Amino acid sequence: MKDSLLKAFFVYAYSFVVVFMFNSLLMVLLMKLGLAPSTGTILSYIITPVALFFAYKISVKKFLGMPVDEKRIPKAWLFQFIPFFIISLILFWLLGGLIKQPSLVVFIFLNLELLVIYITFKLSVEKVLKPER
């Protein structure tokens, strides 16, 4: 279970990178087309949760190494995503207040985010998806 949990986590974590890279590319493309940056922002607010939900679904169904109840996946994803989102906002606000060098803030933030994603992913699998015995 431990190896398959790590495999599923890595698929999900790398999907964050892909989604944020896609959103950045989309933002640049829309600005080159002369559209307002807010258009890209609104699209990224739609694309990010949808893409991350499907990435979560794929990672737990294909890589978790245990049978997963399809009906529990949305609840498990919300159990992972909502705490992750709230902790991310608080963490960025705290780091921004404590450290005055923006590049260092981003570096520390991204590394701590990986830890937060892992903890929330693991908890969502253990608390919501793990079959009851």
How does pLDDT run along the chain (133 residues), one tens digit per residue? 678 889 999 999 999 999 999 999 999 999 999 998 899 999 999 999 999 999 999 999 998 888 888 899 999 999 999 999 999 999 999 999 999 999 999 999 999 999 999 999 999 999 998 876 5
Give the closest residue to 47 by CA, choosing from 23, 31, 76, 18: 23
- Spatial separation of the C-alpha atoms in residues 7 and 9, rounded to whole Å: 5
**Taking CA 37 as the corner, what is the angle to CA 84 and CA 30, rounded to the nearest 5 degrees?**
105
**Taking CA 65 as the corner, what is the angle to CA 79 and CA 15, rounded to the nearest 5 degrees?**
55
The pTM for the full model equals 0.86
